[in-house]
Amino acid sequence: MIKLRDVSKRFGDFEAIKSVSITVGQGEIYGIIGASGAGKSTLLRLMNVLETPDSGEVTVNAQALTNLSGKKLRDARKSIGMIFQHFNLVANKSVYDNIAVSLQLAGYPRKERRRRVLECLQFVGLEGFMHKYPAQLSGGQKQRVAIARALATNPQVLLCDEPTSSLDPNTTAEVLGVLEDVNKRLGVTIVIVSHEMGVIKSLCSKVTVMAKGEVYETLSMKPEGVPDIDNNPKYFVDQLQKDGSRDDT
């Protein structure tokens, strides 16, 4: 589904990505992990050519994005959704409008837009939230709106840049559950960049470890599954005590 062949990217004198080749299979959840500065986000942004490679080829869904420009590139990008660590919602637009705008840009007629926004909000479990504004939402809810927005144009690929790094463990599990659904129920191929080992291990069947702009190793894995969510305060107390705290009350 996604093929990077000998892709390199420099920022000035700095070689951020050095001749990287990777293949993401259709329907896979593919992880990219590594130390800060290893080149994970740059590699992800090369997959939808948000960063243009200096050399090498990027192919998504059998289309060489590196050979496209203008309208052809914009059309090809419609099959690739993206979500970010800080959600990137538009603060002065409602949840409904945040999602509808991406449909408008993609040329969906107004009537069709409404049906699709509601469908996507339902998918992420936020059907009652369309009139709210981003500031009225929790971090997990914001990320679910961002996922709904990314799904609105029916992409075949979802690129996730540190999707849970601003979230607490339970909210992380909630968002990972939505991503698992996106993959299993909609068949969307997912690439996740994360520095959180637990996130990568829970969902990914293939993982590339990046180091200094190069592929250090690529491993096949059995995903461990999304951990159960427990918002009971006793869970927090139990976890604290398990880690050796004293009860001083």
Ligand X SMILES: Nc1ncnc2c1ncn2[C@@H]1O[C@H](COP(=O)(O)OP(=O)(O)OP(=O)(O)O)[C@@H](O)[C@H]1O
Enumerate binding residues for ligand X (CB under 6 A).
Answer: 11, 14, 16, 34, 36-42, 195
Instruction: Tell me how far, at minimum, the Cβ of 131 lies from ligand X, in Å.
Output: 34
Q: Are the C-beta atoms of 216 and 34 separated by less than 8 Å?
A: yes
State how far the Cα of 61 lies from the Cα of 12, in Å rounded to an integer: 31
Nearer to ligand X, 87 or 129 (CB): 87
Instruction: Tell me how far, at minimum, the Cβ of 143 lies from ligand X, in Å.
Output: 17
Instruction: Tell me how far, at minimum, the Cβ of 135 lies from ligand X, in Å.
Output: 25
State how far the Cα of 165 lies from the Cα of 106, in Å rounded to an integer: 29
User: How many angstroms separate the most distant Cα atoms in the chain?
Assistant: 66
Nearer to ligand X, 72 or 212 (CB): 212
- Give the tokens for residue 58: 């990027």
State how far the Cα of 162 lies from the Cα of 41, in Å rounded to an integer: 8
Nearer to ligand X, 36 or 220 (CB): 36
Instruction: Tell me how far, at minimum, the Cβ of 215 lies from ligand X, in Å.
Output: 13
Q: Which residues pair with 159 in a beta bridge?
A: 82, 191
Instruction: Tell me how far, at minimum, the Cβ of 152 lies from ligand X, in Å.
Output: 26
Nearer to ligand X, 45 or 206 (CB): 45
Nearer to ligand X, 20 or 203 (CB): 20
Q: Are the C-beta atoms of 129 and 145 separated by less than 8 Å?
A: yes
Instruction: Tell me how far, at minimum, the Cβ of 216 lies from ligand X, in Å.
Output: 12
State how far the Cα of 217 lies from the Cα of 177, in Å rounded to an integer: 27
The identity of residue 34, as a single letter, is G
Radius of gyration of the chain (CA): 19
Nearer to ligand X, 38 or 192 (CB): 38
Instruction: Tell me how far, at minimum, the Cβ of 33 lies from ligand X, in Å.
Output: 9
**Cβ within 8 Å of residue 61, ≥6 positions away:** 1, 76, 79, 156, 157
Nearer to ligand X, 18 or 195 (CB): 195
Q: State whether residue 128 is helix, strand or coil.
A: helix
State how far the Cα of 71 lies from the Cα of 64, in Å rounded to an integer: 14
